[in-house]
Amino acid sequence: MNREKRNKNKFEKNILCIGGGYVGGSTMAVIAQKCPQYKVTVVDINPNRINQWNSDNLPIYEPGLDKIVHSIRGKNLFFSTDIEKGIKDAEIIFVSVNTPTKTFGAGAGMAADLQYWEKTARQIRDAAESNKIIVDKGTLPVKTALAMERILTATDNDIHFDVISNPEFLAEGTAISDLTNPDRVLIGSRETPSGIKARNEVVDIYKNWVPEDRIITSDIWSTELSKLTANAFLAQRISSINAMSALCEKTDANVNEIAHAIGMDHRIGDKFLNASVGFGGSCFQKDILNLVYLCRHYGLDEVANYWQSIVRINDYQKDRFIFNMLHTMFNTLVDKKICLFGFAFKADTGDTRESPAIYISKKLLEEKAELIITDPRALENAKIDLNDTDGKIRYIEDPYKASTDCDAIAVMTEWDIYTKLDYEKIYQSMSKPAFIFDGRDILDHKKLFEIGFNVFPIGKPKLSHFKDK
C-alpha cells in the first residue's frame, strides 16, 4: 500500500475546498484544526497562491492563522493545485471561489460575476467518479444552488450530487475567532430526504466545535438570501451613522456621543456604529449591488433603490472627505505631500479590496498631490491597486519616516499602532501648518490640537488654529 493510500484510509472523511482565498484558506484551516479525523485539502487554480500556502509566507494575513496552518499543514491540512484528484478523492467539496461584481455585458457594475463559480461546477461534474456533497461557501445570488444542480446533473452518469448552501459570515481581521467561536453557522438544503441527509453531514463537521444551538439549518433559498441580507444590514448601519456624521459636522454635534447614546438601546445595539471615511472590503459593495440587481430583476424597483442608497451614501462619504481636505488646505493640493496612515480596508488585514484608500488616493493624485502611503500589512497590495507609473507615490512602512515633511496625514485604516505614535515628534517633522484628517476617528483629537495640528475628525467639530474657525 503506498503512503498516499495509507493516509487516505487513516481519515474518516476527505474534505476538499476549491478556492484557497481569504474564506477557503481560513475556513479549511479551522475545520482541519478542529477535526483531526478529517483530511482537508485546499486547491486553487493559482499556483502562486498554493505555493504561498505551502511556504512560511502565507498569502493572506489573519491574526492566528499562521499558527494554525503551521501546526497542521502536512498532517491533515494540504494545499495543492491538483484539482481533479482533489475532486475524485473527496466526499464533501466546499466551493469558495471569488464572485466579484461583473464588469462586462448585462448587469455590468451590479450583478455577481459567476464565471469562476460556473467553471468550478463543471470541473466537479467532469472529474467526479462517485457521489458527492457540494457546499457553496461563497456569497451568491439566491437560486444559485439551482444552477449548480443543473450543471452537475447535465450528464448521463449515475453520480448523485447534493448541493448545500453554507455561506460564510467571517469578517476579515477577526476570521479565526469568528470561525472558532461563530455567532451562528447556517446550513441550507433542499427539504428532501437526500438533501436533509447531506445537510446533516455538513452539520456533523461543525458539531466538532460549534455548540448545536448555534448551528441553524434552513431551506436552501432562505440560506442563500440570508447572507446577502446580513451584509446589506451591516453596510446599512455604517451608511446610517456616516449619514449622521455629515449632519454632525454642520451642527457641532459629535457622532461618537450619538453612537454611544443610541447604542445603549438594546434594540439598536452598540456594534458597527463607528463613523468613518466609508466602508470597503471585497463584500459589502458587491453584495449590495448584487442584491439591487436581483430586486430589479424581480421588478422590485423601490426595494432596489432603498438598498442602492447605502452604496450612494458610502460614495458620498468618500467624496466629502476629499472635498474637506481640499477646502481646508486652501483649495489646492498641488504638490502638497499627503501621508495616508493605512491602506487596508480595515485593521488587522492586508486586504485592500474596495478600500476607501484606493478612491481617496486616486482623487488626491487627480488634484496633483504627492502621496506617501504607510501600512503595516498592505503596502504590496497598495502598489498593485495604484499601479503608479508616474512616480507620484512613495510607500514607506515606518509611519514616522512616511509623515516627515508632509503637509497632512489622512487616517485611512484603524490600525491600533496609529493611536500609539509619538505625535509630538511627528508634528515637529512635518511641514506647517500641519493637518490631520482622521477618517476613522481613532486619534486623541484634543491632544493633537494642543500639539499644534489642525484636526479634522469625522462627524465631530474640527479643531483648527485658524482664526476663521
Ligand X SMILES: NC(=O)c1ccc[n+]([C@@H]2O[C@H](COP(=O)([O-])OP(=O)(O)OC[C@H]3O[C@@H](n4cnc5c(N)ncnc54)[C@H](O)[C@@H]3O)[C@@H](O)[C@H]2O)c1
Q: Binder to ligand X among 172, 201, 354, 441 (CB under 6 A)?
A: 172
- Find, among 417, 413, 364, the residue nearest to 393 by Cα: 364
Q: Are the C-beta atoms of residues 142 and 294 closer than 8 Å to each other?
A: yes
Cβ proximity to ligand X: between 44 and 414 the closer is 44
Site for ligand X in 363-392 (CB under 6 A): none
Binding residue (CB under 6 A) for ligand X from 17, 38, 49, 440 = 49
Stretch that binds ligand X, among 19-27, 232-240, 372-380, 415-423 (CB under 6 A): 19-27
Count of C-beta atoms within a 10 Å radius of residue 421: 15
Contact 435, 409 (CB under 8 A): yes
DSSP conformational letter for 419: G
The verdict on 14 binding ligand X (CB under 6 A) reads: no
246 binds ligand X (CB under 6 A): no
Residues 286, 289: Cα–Cα separation, whole Å:
5
Q: Is the backbone peptide bond immediately before 433 cis, with ω within 30 degrees of 0?
A: yes
Catalytic residue at 295?
A: no
Q: Which of 394, 404, 392 is nearest to 434 (CA)?
A: 404
Name beta bridge partners: 42: 17, 79
Confirm or reject binding of residue 71 to ligand X (CB under 6 A): no
Q: With helix as H, strand as E and coil as C, how does 305-322 read? A: HHHHHHHHHHHHHHHHHH
Radius of gyration of the chain (CA): 24
Stretch 302-321 residues interacting with ligand X (CB under 6 A)? none
- Of the pair 245, 314, the CB lying nearest ligand X is at 314
Identify whether the C-beta of residue 199 lies closer than 8 Å to the C-beta of residue 188: yes
Identified binder of ligand X from the candidate list 52, 120, 223, 403, rule CB under 6 A? 120
Identified binder of ligand X from the candidate list 17, 29, 30, 44, rule CB under 6 A: 44
Amino acid (one-letter) located at 48 = N
Which three three-digit cell numbers place residue 186? 447556517
Give min distance, CB of 270 to ligand X, in A: 22
Q: Whose Cβ is closer to ligand X: residue 227's or residue 318's?
A: 227
Rounded distance, CA 173 to CA 63, Å?
7
Under rule CB under 6 A, residue 234 binds ligand X: no
Closer to ligand X at the Cβ: 132 or 460?
A: 132
Q: Which is nearer to ligand X, 52 or 454 (CB)?
A: 52
Asked if residue 228 lies in contact with residue 290, where contact means CB atoms within 8 angstroms, the answer is: yes
- From candidates 14, 15, 17, 24, binder to ligand X by CB under 6 A: 24
x/- site string to ligand X, residues 99 to 118, per CB under 6 A?
x----------------x--
**Least distance in Å: CB of 184 to ligand X?**
14
Query: Exactly one of 17, 35, 248, 283 is catalytic; which is it?
Result: 283
The 278-307 site mask, x for binding ligand X (CB under 6 A), equals: ----xx------------------------
Helices (H), 62-114: 65-72, 83-89
Does residue 173 touch ligand X according to CB under 6 A? no
Q: Are 95 and 125 in contact (CB under 8 A)?
A: no
Which amino acids are annotated catalytic?
Answer: 283
Binding site for ligand X (CB under 6 A): 18-24, 43-46, 49, 83, 96-99, 116, 119-120, 138-139, 168, 170, 172, 282-283
